[in-house]
Amino acid sequence: MSRKKTSPFYCYKKMCRKTAWDTPEYMTEQDWGTLHKFRDIIISKNLESFMALQDDQIEWSSFFHHMIGWPEGLVYCQDWDYARRTFLANAGNHLLPKIDKALAAKGA
């Protein structure tokens, strides 16, 4: 009997981390709405709004696990200074184009 490998952030079938752009099949309709929410906050670089998203641990976890494929971000982005100086400062340049492309492909 074989065991099926599963991970909240890794797709064994495609051999890559789960992301909205590489593995959109893992995204639910609610996930697409959550991705919109994160996108808007990344654009605005509103730290308080970004940190407030931690209140919904399911959305927060989903964003890092299977929307952007960066589970380490769950820990790193709990630090306000890191979130402001590193994540939000750089997400617009590196992450936002990928998010926009995924949302456009979804038609969302």
pTM for this structure? 0.90
- Give which of 24, 50, 30, 52 is closest to 39, Cα–Cα: 50
Phi, psi of 59 (to 5 degrees): -65, -45
Report helix, strand and coil shares of the chain as percent, to nearest 5.
65, 5, 30
Domain ranges of the chain: 26-106
pLDDT at 6 over 60: yes
pLDDT at residue 3, as a whole number: 66
How do residues 23-51 score in pLDDT, each as one tens digit?
Answer: 999 999 999 999 999 999 999 999 999 99
Residue 8: is its pLDDT beyond 80?
A: yes
Q: Does the pLDDT at position 76 exceed 60?
A: yes
